[in-house]
A and B are shown apart, each in its own frame.
Chain A
Amino acid sequence: MRGVVAVPTRRDVIRWVARGLAVVVAGGLAAGALLAASVAPLPEVAAEPPSAVVQPAESRQLRVCPGPLLSLADDAASAATARSVGAPDLSVAADPETATIEQVPLDAPENAGAAADGGPVAVSAEPGAVLAGMLAGAQSQTAATESLRGFAAASCVEPASDSWLLAGATDVGRSGLVLLANPGEVASTVDLRVVGETGPVDAPSGLGIVVPPGSQRVVSLAGLAPSVRTPVVHVTSTGAPIAAALQHSVVLGLEPAGVELSTPVAPPATRQVVPGVVVTDDRGVAPDEDHADGDDFPALRLFAPDDAEASAVVEIRDDAGSAVSEIDVTLAPGQVTDLPLGTLDPGSYTVVVDADAPVVAAARSTLLGEGEDPILADLAWSVATGALLDRAAVAVPDGPGASIVLANPDGEAVAATVTIGGGERTVTVPAGGAASVAVQGGDRLILDGVEGLHAAVAFEGDGGIASIPIAPPGPLDSPVRVFPQ
């Protein structure tokens, strides 16, 4: 429209400069506001969600002891022909000591010798009589028959609906029996799933085992998973919870060469602590040995239940807390690994496993016989245990060279009190290390100030070796936080 080129007048220039300045100022203000909002420490309004920590009402405390060692007849596939070899020594501890403890034997229809030797025993205290964790029982037995020889001890365990047994083998000469006790009032249906060194074992007969109330059933591990060197048994139940145990016995040639009764390990976790692993001999097998067959060396059994490869660091610590050996291990998915612990000086050790996936763990100790090339005389399974609460009761059955081992995997020394039959002793457990106190069969122990520690009773003597885990009370009794909105 305009005929001539408009020459910007002075006013135009001023106007354009003013407009440009306005935009710059506005942009500056916006950027300033943004910066101020990002940098300024703005007050946050936040509150804690309301919740209540519910302490479950007191209920009956119950422990089930697995009962006498069983010997199989020649026909190994048939568990129905098991027969007990004598009665175990049973020891019970509770706090307060005056609490009424009931011991109810359970039926053991599959044990032909139950009438003479008894069966599993349910140890219980009325609701409110003892606090959770303050009832304990343990049993021990020395066997010397044609097929069983050695010393076996086991703790009486809380029934659970989900437990892991790490022990045993079913290759030549080894046999395993899974003992399933149902102390409840309703029947329980149990599924046993076995995993070995080559992966899960397909065993339909392990599924849907009905355990009637108040009785024990015995399942031969060889029947489920023959020729497995490193079985891990996962016991799950619906209905009443189950107290499971695994009897592991070895016959080398015609010589019985050790027996152990192993109870469930701590549930899968990325850190596992196995206290009180006893090494009696410096003739071990190196961890990187590919063909480490047999039972006659200390080893750690590891399994990661998640179907994925996991890597773990295994630390073997002595009582002072220094790591005498550190082993990196890769766990193949779905397979069980038996890791030889290498050559160690005789003594007691704590094995700490740190993995990048939840694992279960147990350690095997061995006692060799006399001679130049001795064969196995006895073995023991030390299982990973959960961290203790502040207090715990411990029962010690008869056995050779018994001692209670308190392991402290964490960084600060702990002063714990061990009360043995009224006599108090203060024990300092060094950071990362362990301390042991010699005890006698039949002793009733009360541990105080042991929160976070792991404990076991270890037996070591000429007659054999064995280990009893001191487990914290099951999670079922512990307080739980509830968010009711």
Chain B
Amino acid sequence: MFPRVTAVLVVQHGGDRLRTTLDALRSQTRPPDDLAVVLMDADDATRRLVEAQRPSHVVSLGASQPFGAAIAAVEQTLPEPGDERSSLWLLTEDAAPEPAALESLVASLENARTAAIAAPKLVDWDDPRRIVRFGRSVTRGGRSMAIVEGELDQGQHDDLSDVLGADPVGMLVRHAVWRDLGGLDPALPVVDDGLDLGTRARLAGHRVVAVPGAVLRFGDAGVAGPGSEPGGRAARHRARIARTAWLHRRLVSAPAVLVPLHWLAILPIAVLRSLRHLLVKTPGSIPGEFAAAVEVMVTPQRVVRSRRAIARVRTAKWSALAPLRIRPDEVRARRQQAAEARRQRARGRADDLQFLQTGGGWVLLATLALSIVLFAPLLASGGISGGGLLPLSNEVSALWRNAAAGWRDIGGGFVGAADPFAGVLAVLGSAAFWNPSAALLGLWLAAIPLSGLGGWFAASRLTERASLRVLGGLAWAVAPPLLDALAAGRPAAVLVHVLLPWLAVLMFAAGTSWAAAAAASLVFAAIVACAPVLAPALVLAWLVALPLSGRAAVRLVGIPLPALALALPLIVQQVGRGAPLSLLADPGLPHGAGEPTVAQVALGQANGTWGRWEDALGGLVAEVVPPPILLAVLLAPLALAALAVVASRRLRGGLLALALAAAGFATAVGATLLHVAFSGERTVPVWTGAGISVMWLGLLAAAILALSTLRRGAAAAATLVAVFGIVAVAPTVVAIALGRTAVGPAPERTLPAFVEAEAGSDPRVGTLRMQPTADGGIRATIERGTGATLDEQSTLASTRRDLTGTTESIATLAGNLASRSGYDATAAVEEFGLSFVLLGDADPADPAATAVHERARAALDGNPQVVATGETDFGPIWRFVDAEPDAPGARIPDPGPVAGWVVAGQLMVVGAALLLSIPTGGGREPDRRPPSVRRRRRRPAVVAAESGETGTDAAAPDDTAAGGVPVESPAVDGPADPREASSEQRATVDAGAPERRGDEGGGRRADEA
């Protein structure tokens, strides 16, 4: 007697695939004896189609259910298996068996009496030569893997026999064993259900065999298994389900005593795996990772049920499964193959920048030479000072402490949020950890070359022409706001100017790359940290970029996040004070500078002069031509070129660039109106240079776009713009070179040697510094150790409008020390841990300041509570009689737990952005661009005309597009998430398409050629 085979068919959608499957069933060389059908939510047509086959059993389910549940629903209605040999054949509507399939399966069960499950080879529905999946096993780590997946079938796997499990579709299972095992585990509704069934069969002492001769065409439409729906969302869903199954399997298969440990480890492992997701640029999988972890953690009943099911049938040891697992070397080999495939994809993807061929080298050389000429004297001194420059803390640990929320060591000290700029300084200072202050000198030396490079790179996103790229580099390197910031000693403004073009470059690339988007978010954070006044303009630019970049917007959404995380504590505190505008105050040492008029701002001047043309050649030039007119004439070529973009073909990008320039201008004008910080008796205006940098960026971009559409004379026009622009800043360059600016070599010390010597043994030694002010007042500050540092400055302190208890105590102390007074300073000296009083020199031209200096000096001389210590370069100094070394009042108090949480939160956001920005994604990230096509140099105008707009396709000098054909096939995608990759590629094409239309691509191009 033949063994009885009941085919169990799960029908969900019906249609052609069902028809094909039913036909295939009929044409089996050994047809099944019975047909049991599960109809899920079926329509009448489907029902009729099924009825025509005269199934022995039909079960209708109202809603679609997991494969295991559907099979179980109809299996219950079947009679008890007659003997050991009768079996169930599990089928779905999209699994059409080849004619010999059942025969092979039955034969394999008949030939091996210990075999309880026979699994077929699943091949692609449309392309039967391609194996979809064949067999399934686990790695040592418990990850489920198909033994064969996505390979061309050349018979290379026909020797596969004993396996751990397989996908359930097409499986032939002995009915008795099925009943014995209790069917498919409902805890694994989608994936790994067949693997689990096989594992349990193995543990119960049965064998699971793969039958290469049995072939099913499989549609993989999701009736059984996760399906193969395209799209990132579906891919992330599959990853989540697979992870859930993996975690479930881990808890089920572990020895009972270790289960709690595994349970506890689930969340930490999820965190670690999230870090890996960041590194491999799949941040979208992180929510699924945690969802899976939480799902498994909160459903222990599933684990208990599954463990009981195994315990009930288990006769073999777990170790019996070991030989059937995928061997580590096999895993390694697969990983290497995947990496090789990624490299293959990444090859030829790097931008063909032609750095040397299009003038990048010359820009670098010229800017380096200029930088050396300007700052060589500083190099010899080994330090830099003046203007807004102060030394950085000597220890890296102090730098980072000042970057973290907590104790602000200024104005007598208070607990509060840190300026994000302190974080920038900490990074900068850590780069020169042996002497952090040297980093500032390094910044000054590198600022012009780095700006030149940045300008060149940003220009290379807009044009292929060497002359225009060089214009971009040079015009950015000698931009007035950069030179003014260098001359005025404003490290924050210098950083802003250096970083702005890189932000533009990264924003262009962010649409196609997570790494670039994360890097852009970090640069964004750094720029906002250096110049909070730019935040409105940058956020506006971001808001404009979001809708313009189509589906790539998902990568741009998070760009302001690190900046927000860094600034949030400050925002909370300043808004709490009722002074939200104070958030826009410049970080760093508050110091005033020339306040430019609107016209000066429009001409790019931040320091309140007309480009220093007033003093050029000893005022000779100014006598001949009024400086405003001269400057306007010199900058006219740039302005005209920028405005001309509205008449060019690159109107869209040009308008965006002009809008950026307008936003920069508005920011700079707005900055002149903001006086929110204070330095002693002076209100400090916000530096306009940052806004001017943005304006300059927009103007330069517009000019380059406009010139890039010129058929002839672009090089000449670029030369004109560059030469005039360089002449315009000549007086500033000369002033810097001759040392006529605020910046100069660093002095040996910032407090007298007495204090420095004391600070050697007592690093927190306190000095009360009293500085006569212009109106006959006194500015009193407390400095610690060897003096005030740049990183300890705080806008919370500099924008405070009212006195606090602390500052009032300082005022009382200083006021009384500067007077003949019966004041007992002991309490205040103890409170602040003071040792010295330093009376700064007064401006000799200011009688009020001189008078108050004399008064304070006389009072201190006659005060028995202080002892005159000597005259110093910084002014006379006294020592408190009751000063004690390492005073308790000088110590840094514990900032409390809130600061710790704030820092932890900021570290998490910035750390995530940092991990994501590390470019490990070579080939992992889908490439949106068609492959690079070399163009002939004799068509530069055409190429320039269409190479990138701003927005998503802006990465695109490579984007000649017309003939570009995507060469990649999804099959060679990385193993991490092949579906996601291919789907995103599709998304890219969608996003890119309207852009190309807007560009009037092919047709116009043909005209011009």
Contact = CB atoms under 8 A, between A and B. Distances in A.
B430 interface: no
Contact of A484 (B602, B811, B818, B864): B811
Interface in B835-881: 847, 851-852, 854-855, 857-859, 861-862, 864, 868
B153 to A, nearest CB: 57
A26 interface: yes
Contacts of B778: 480-483
B647 A23 contact: yes
Interface string B756-793: 00000000000000000101111111000000000000
Interface in A442-483: 474-483
A483 B862 contact: no
Interface string B793-828: 000011011110001101110111011111110000
Contacts of A160: 858
A46 interface: yes
Interface in A44-76: 44-60
B647 A19 contact: yes
Classify chain A's interface size: 35 or more
Interface in A152-189: 160-162, 184-186
Contacts of B682: 49
A186 B865 CA distance: 13
Contacts of A13: none
Interface in B121-160: none
Contacts of A51: 681, 777, 803, 811
B861 A162 contact: no
Contacts of A479: 815
B862 A184 contact: yes
A22 interface: yes
B779 A33 contact: no
B802 A50 contact: yes
Interface in B735-749: none
A229 to B, nearest CB: 29
B324 interface: no
A45 B861 CA distance: 42
A54 B862 contact: no
B411 interface: yes
B812 A50 contact: no
B386 interface: no
Classify chain B's interface size: 35 or more
A127 interface: yes
A350 to B, nearest CB: 23
Contact of A47 (B675, B820, B857): B675
B339 interface: no
B855 A475 contact: yes
Contacts of B597: 38
A484 B411 contact: yes
B883 interface: no
A44 B646 contact: no
A476 B855 contact: yes
Contacts of A26: 643, 646, 658
A477 B820 contact: yes
B646 A23 contact: yes
Contacts of B753: none
B673 interface: yes
A485 B823 CA distance: 21
Contacts of B675: 44-47
Contacts of A48: 683, 801
A161 B858 contact: yes
Most B CB contacts (10 A, CB to CB) among A27, A43, A239, A481 go to A481
A109 interface: no
B876 to A, nearest CB: 9
Contacts of B822: 56-60, 127-128
Contacts of B811: 51-52, 54, 482-484
A267 B643 contact: no
A327 B948 CA distance: 79
A483 B680 contact: yes
A130 B823 CA distance: 16
A186 B673 CA distance: 53
Nearest to A478: B819
Contacts of A238: 861, 868
A7 interface: no
A55 B815 CA distance: 7
B775 to A, nearest CB: 7
Nearest to B599: A38
Interface in A264-303: 267-270
A42 interface: yes
Contacts of A196: none
A476 B680 contact: no
B695 to A, nearest CB: 11
A91 B539 CA distance: 77
Interface in B565-613: 581, 597-599, 602
A302 to B, nearest CB: 17
B56 to A, nearest CB: 78
B858 A162 contact: yes
A358 B847 contact: yes
A52 B811 CA distance: 6
Nearest to B706: A23
B854 A162 contact: yes
Contact of A34 (B602, B780, B819): B602
B643 A56 contact: no
Contact of B777 (A23, A30, A475, A480): A480
A199 interface: no
Contacts of A483: 678, 680-681, 773, 777-780, 811
B658 to A, nearest CB: 7
A369 to B, nearest CB: 43
A267 B662 CA distance: 55
Interface string B628-655: 0000000000010001101100000000
A401 B397 CA distance: 77
10 contacts: A30-B639, A49-B680, A50-B803, A51-B811, A57-B822, A59-B820, A186-B864, A268-B847, A482-B780, A483-B773
Given A54-B815, A482-B815, 18 more contacts: A20-B647, A38-B599, A43-B673, A46-B675, A50-B800, A51-B681, A51-B811, A56-B816, A57-B816, A57-B822, A161-B854, A475-B851, A480-B778, A481-B778, A483-B680, A484-B803, A484-B807, A485-B678
Q: Which 7 A-B pairs have the closest CB atoms?
A: A54-B815, A56-B819, A19-B647, A481-B777, A56-B821, A49-B678, A476-B820
